[in-house]
Structure 1
Amino acid sequence: MSMIVKGDRLPNFVGGKWCTSNTRDVLPVPNPATEEVLALVPLSGTAEVDAAVRSAQEAFLAWRETPVTERVRILLKFRELLVQHLDTLSRTLTEENGKTLNEAKAEIWRGIEVVEFAAGMPSLMKGEVTPQVSRGIDMEMVRDPVGVVAGITPFNFPVMVPLWMVPLALAAGNTFVLKPSERTPLSAVRLVELAVEAGLPEGVFNLVHGGKEAVDALLCHPGVDAVSFVGSQPVAEHVYKTAAAHGKRVQALAGAKNCHIVHEDANMEGAVQSITGSAFGCAGQRCMAGSVVVVLESVADRFLKDLVAAAERVRVGNGLEEGTEQGPLIRDEHRKKVLERIEQGLKEGAVMLRDGRNLVDQMDRGFFLGPTILDRVRPEMTVFREELFAPVLSVIRVKDLDEAIRVVNRSRFGNAAVLYTESGKAARRFRERVQAGMLGINVGVPVPAAFYPFSGWKQSFYGDLHANGKDAVEFYTRKKVVTSRWFG
C-alpha cells in the first residue's frame, strides 16, 4: 500500500528511511487535466543531497560484494511487483503527468522490459581471459561497478526513464541517488516503495526531491561517480559540461525535432495513422514524437487532407476517462510558451491547417491544447528549429527524397527520423544518408527495445555511451585488466 496521501508534502528517501526535507521551499504538483493539487514537492538543498550521496557511498561497499545473482533476484521480485501494481501505478502516472491510461501502461511496460534486460547481468558483465599471453603470464579483464550513480529524470516519462537507469545500475553493483522531475515526483516515490518491498538493502536506492540546486549539488558532489540524465537540450548541455568538469562519467539525453518523410509511394492510410499517433500521442511531450512532416509535393495535398481529418478525430480530454486519446500539456506556463511559438510561426509565414488553440477556451480546467498542424513551414523558421514539446506538427513540402533528407539533416537535433515508403531502394538511401540515431521505416515511434541503445545524435545526446543495451552495461561498469604470474 502506498504511503502517498493526496495533498501531502512528499518525503525524501535516504538510507532506507523516509525523511522530511528541511527546506521551506515547496511546489504544488497539480493534475494537469483538472488542476487539483496532488501533493507538495520539496525543493531539497545541498545538505540533503549530501546525505543521500553519503548513504549511497556507505551502502556501496556491501552492495558491490553482493553476488550478482542475488542482486538480480531482488530485481526479479521488483519486476513482479511492478506488474502486480500496474493499474494503480498507471493511475498515479496519469494523474500527475496527464497522459492517457493506455499510454501510462505502455510506458510502464517499456520500463519493465529494462528490468528484464538487467536480469541478464550475470552474463552481460562477464569479463575476458587470455591465458598464457606470455610465458607463465595470464591476462584477464573484469568489470567493476562505477560507484554511486545519480539519476536526473524528466516529467514526461516518470516511470520509464528511472527504469532505464536504476535496474541496470543496481544489477551491475552500483548504488543510486534519484532526483526525479519536480513536476512528476509521485511515480518516483511509488517506485522506491516497490523497490524496498522487493528487498533492496538500506542506502542502495535513495530519492531526493528538488530543482536546480539539487541537480547542481549532484553534479558537483565528489561522492557521485556517474550521472545519467534525460531532459531538455539546454539542461543536458549544462549537466554534461558541469559533471564532466568534476570528473564524472556522464550520459545526457537531450531534446529532439524528429522528421517524418512521406514518400510518393507511401501507404497513405498507414502513414496518416502512424503520424497522427506519433505527433499527438502523449500530447507531443516525448523526445521521440514526430514534430515535422516532410512530404513530397506530388502527394502533399491528398496526404494533408487525410491528416487533418485524422487530427479532427483525436479525442482530447482527461487521461483517466475512457476513450481519451490525447491529454493535456504538463503546465499552463508551458502551454503559454507553445502558443507564443505557434503565433511566431504564423508571423514567419506558416499557414494554419488545423488549429488546436480553440480548445484552450473550450475546456473549463486543465492545460489543454488540441492537435495543431502548420503547413508551408520552412527550415529557417523557429517552429522547425526549436523543440516545442507539444501536439504541434509542422509540414514542409519538398520535390523529392534527396531534398527531404537534406531538410532532415539541417536540424541541430538527431534523435529520430522516419520514412514512409514501400520502396526498399528509398529505405536504403534514407538509412544510409539521414543524420539521426534512431530510424523508423513505416514505424512512427522507433524506440529501440531495451537490449539496443537509445542512440540520439548531434544535440540530442551528450556523452559517449547511450542509455540501455550494451552501452548501458559499459556505462555502469569499469574495466579492470589483471596481468598475473605465479613463480615456481
Structure 2
Amino acid sequence: MADTDIVCISPIDGRELVRRPIMSDAAIDAAVTSAREAQKAWRHVPVKERAAKVLALLDALVAMNQEVVPELAQQMGRPVRFGGEFRGVEERARHMVRIAEDSMKAIPADDEKPGFRRMIKREPVGLVLVIAPWNYPYLTAINTIAPALMAGNAVLLKHASQTVLAGERFQMAADRAGLPKGLFQNLHLSHEQTSRILGSGLVDHCNFTGSVSGGRAIERGAAGSFTSLGLELGGKDPAYVREDADIAHAIENLVDGAFFNSGQCCCGIERIYVHEKHYARFVEGAVDLVNKYVLGNPLDETTTLGPMAHKRFADVVRQQNAEAVAKGARAHIDGKRFTADVGNTAYLAPQVLTHVDHSMSVMREESFGPTVGIMKVKGDEEAIHLMNDSPYGLSAAIWTSDVDAAESIGDRLETGTVFMNRCDYLDPALAWTGVKETGRGASLSRLAYESLTRPKSFHLRQL
C-alpha cells in the first residue's frame, strides 16, 4: 500500500476492496475553514430546526440499509443475517435529539439575589473531530455526530481504513439531508495528518474510539493544544453468574455477548466467573451453544459467525488461546468442526476455555475476538476481586435475581457501566464511559452535551 492511500482489505478473501487517496494538507485546511464558517451560523439555528436536519440525516442513512449490510460484511466481516446497525443508530440518535433542548437549557444560580440575573448557559465547543472504529462503524460514530450537531457544532469525521465506506455513507446522508455546506465533512486522513490537526489546535474537541495505544497517540498528538478529548479505549469486560441466577438465561445471553460480531464488540463479554454451584452446567451449556455456530462467508445467510476484520486480529486471538492451553487451560471447542478456519486467514473458530487463571493473557488482555475464559468462584467476594483485576473498565455484567445485590456489587466494581441480566448493550439514556485504561469522558445521555459544549456564566446586575 502506498503511503498516500487508505486501503481496505476484505476479510472475506484477503483482497483489496477499497482504495482512497489521503487528502492534501491544503484540502484539510480548506475543510477546517469551511467547517468554521458553517458553524458560525449553525450555532444560532434554533434547536428544533437543528433537530429536523439531524433527523433528516438519520432518515437518509437508514434508507441506505439494504446497500450497507452487505457492504459491512465485505469490509469487516459481520454476517448479513444480522441486518446491520441502524436499529441501534436510530435509537441513539433519536434519543439524543429528543433530550437536546432540555440538556442544554440555562442553569439558574443556586440562590436568588434581588437585582441580579445569574445563570449558566451552554455554548457549542465549535469544531468536533470524530475518529471512529471499524467494529461498529455507524453506531460508534453516531454517538458523537448526533449530539455534536444538536449542540451547535460542526463535525469532521475520520473513519477507520477498514470501514472507509461508512464515512462516505455519512457524508452522503448529510448531503441528502441538506445540512449547511461544510458543517459535516468526512475526511480521508493519515495518522500523521490526524496528529497535525490535533496538535495545531485546528479542532476544539476530539472523540476517539479505538485501542489503548491509539488513545495514547491521540493524547500525544493533542498535547499542548488544549483540545478536549473523549476516549473509549480497550476493554476486558467481565460477567459474574451468581448462585441465584437464571442459568438458562445466563448461558444464552452470555454466549451471544461473547461471540456476536466474532467477539469484536467494545462491551462484549471476554471473561466469565461462575458460582461453583452452577459451574459445570454453565460450561456444558455454553460449549453446546458455541458448537452450533456456523463459521463462514458473511455474505451467506446461513453464516452466524463471520471472519474477524483482519488476519492480524485473528492471529492475536490464536496466540492467546495457544498460550492459555500451554499454561494448563482446557480448550473445549474442536476447531476442526469449523472448516472455514484454515489457520492463515481472518476466519477463526470460536473457543471456550476453562482451567484458566489471571496469569494468562486471555484473562487479562483484550482479545476482541471469538474466545472466552470461564472460571469457577465461591461467591461475591472472589468474583468482585477477579472482576476488578484488570487494567480496563468499560462494563461489567451480573447475573442474579437480586436487584439490591446487583447494585451493591456494582458499587464495588471498577467499571463505567454495570448490567444486571444483560450485556453488550448501550442505553442512550445512560452515560457511556470507562475507567482506568478504558478511557475518559462520556458519550450519550445528557452528560454527552457537557463535553460537547462549554459553560458560559451570566452575572447581570440591574441598576
Q: Is the 8 A contact 1:131 1:137 kept in 2?
A: no
* 3-state DSSP of counterpart to 1:152: strand
Alpha-carbon offset, residue 30 of structure 1 = 2.8
Report SS of the residue matched to 1:393: strand
Matches within 5 A, 1:2-401: 25-44=4-23, 46-105=25-84, 107-120=85-98, 121-129=100-108, 133-243=112-222, 245-356=224-335, 359=338, 362=341, 367-401=346-380
8 Å CA contact retained: 2:356, 2:374 = yes
Q: Matched residue of 1:339: which SS?
A: helix
Question: What is the identity, as a one-letter code, of the residue corresponding to 2:299?
Answer: L
Q: Distance in 1 between matches of 2:78 and 2:107?
A: 45
**Alpha-carbon distance in 2 for matches of 1:204, 1:98:** 31
Map Cα deviations across residues 29-62 of structure 1 (whole Å, 9 max, x no partner). 2332233432113344644433322222222212
Task: Return the offset for 1:366.
Answer: 5.7
Shift in Å at residue 365 of structure 1? Answer: 9.6
Question: Match of 1:475?
Answer: 451
Inter-partner Cα distance in structure 2 for 1:444 and 1:69: 34
1:26 Cα deviation after fit: 1.9
The separation in 2 between residues aligned to 1:414 and 1:272, in whole angstroms, is 23
Matching residue's letter, 2:140 = V
TM-score of the two chains, using structure 2 as the length reference: 0.93
Contact kept? 2:317, 2:369, Cα under 8 Å:
yes
Worse-matched range after superposition: 171-180 or 23-32: 23-32
Q: Match for residue 414 of structure 2? A: 435
Gaps of 5+ in 2: none
Structure 2 SS opposite 1:328: coil
Distance 1:183 1:320 in 2: 17
**Structure 1 length normalisation: TM-score?**
0.88
Question: Residue 150 of structure 1 contacts residue 218 of structure 1 at CA under 8 Å; is this kept in 2?
Answer: no
1:405 corresponds to which residue?
A: 384
Contact 1:258 1:292 in 2 (8 A): yes
- The whole-number CA distance in structure 2 between the counterparts of 1:377 and 1:259 is 14
- 1:134, distance to aligned residue in structure 2 (A): 3.4
CA contact (8 A) 2:233 2:439 kept: yes
1:11-33 deviations in whole A, cap 9, x for unaligned? xxxxxxxxxxxx86224323322
Residue 243 of structure 1: how far off its partner (Å):
2.2
- Once the two structures are TM-superposed, the CA of residue 139 in structure 1 deviates from its matched residue by 1.2
Question: 2 CA distance for matches of 1:306 and 1:132?
Answer: 59
Relative to structure 1, the CA distance from residue 444 to residue 47 in structure 2 (aligned partners, 3 Å threshold; closer, same or farther) is: same
Q: For the structure 1 residues 346 and 44, does the alpha-carbon distance in structure 2 shift closer, same or farther, using more than 3 Å as the test?
A: farther
Deviation at 1:364, TM superposition (A): 10
SS in 2 for 1:354: coil
The one-character-per-residue Cα deviations of 1:316-369 (angstroms, maximum 9, x if unpaired) are 222222232211101112212221222222223322122447747655996211
Give % identity.
28
CA distance in 1, matches of 2:414, 2:181: 44
Residue 179 of structure 1: SS of its match in structure 2? Answer: strand
CA offset digits 1:115-142 (Å, max 9, x no partner): 2123232332111345994342211221
Tell me: CA distance 1:45–1:406, structure 2 relative to 1, closer, same or farther (3 Å): farther
Q: Residue 466 in 1 paired to residue 445 in 2?
A: no
Q: Matches of 2:322 and 2:25 in 1, distance apart? A: 40
Cα 1:312–1:409 shift into 2, 3 Å: same
Superposed displacement of residue 456, structure 1: 1.7
Q: Which residue of 1 aligns with 2:429?
A: 451
Tell me the C-alpha RMSD between the 2 structures. 2.4
- Tell me by how many angstroms 1:378 deviates: 0.8
- CA–CA separation in structure 2 for the residues paired with 1:75 and 1:362: 42
**Greater mean deviation of Cα atoms: 82-91 or 258-267:** 82-91
SS at match of 1:313: coil
